[in-house]
Amino acid sequence: MTIALYPGTFDPIHNGHIDIATRAAGLFEHVIVGLYDRPAKRLLFSADERAQMARLALAHLPNVTVQLYSSLTVDFAGQIGASVVVRGLRAISDFEFEFQLALTNKKLAPGVETVGLMSSLEYLFLSSTILKEVALLNGPVSDLVPPHVEAALQQKAAT
């Protein structure tokens, strides 16, 4: 069985992430969405909140599960038996960073391949950073996230 790891912080998960996970689910027998719980960036949601939102957003995909991790991504891939790391690509700037990351991961774990899936056109601009800024300033995000994520963003904006 081919297990793929789709890693990220998913703070919060949005329709672009869901699109990549859905497409990966069609390519691989099992996809584990790995939520990195200790990134070196400021998070809006806790690891448990992010995992809960991701699980609900991806519940329609029977071969996709969500797990938290705090190690190197390739180490986590080894722990779960993943031979593929899936990454979403939006723009040239993404490609440059992801290419460097893929080469580093290949050096650290030669048996793990990186597969980049191009973002769908309707999500090409979408990032969690931009999404959070719009939502926290009470901008419309209903067409960018599932309803439960929109509600969580609205709750954070109200506090």
Interatomic CA distance for residues 71 and 53, integer angstroms: 21
CA geometry: angle at 90 spanning 89 and 94, to 5°? 65
For residue 69, the SS3 value is strand
Q: Which of 14, 30, 87, 128 is catalytic?
A: 128
Q: Are 149 and 13 in contact (CB under 8 A)?
A: yes
Strands 3-8 and 30-36: parallel
Residue 95 CB burial class (10 angstroms; 0-12, 13-18, ≥19):
middle
Q: Which of 23, 55, 83, 90 is catalytic?
A: 90
Catalytic residue flag (residue 41): yes
Catalytic residue flag (residue 17): yes
Catalytic residue flag (residue 128): yes
Q: Are 13 and 144 in contact (CB under 8 A)?
A: no
Q: Which of 17, 30, 50, 87 is catalytic?
A: 17
Q: Which of 41, 93, 107, 142 is catalytic?
A: 41
Position 89, amino acid = L
Catalytic residue flag (residue 38): no
Q: Return the active site residues.
A: 17, 41, 90, 128
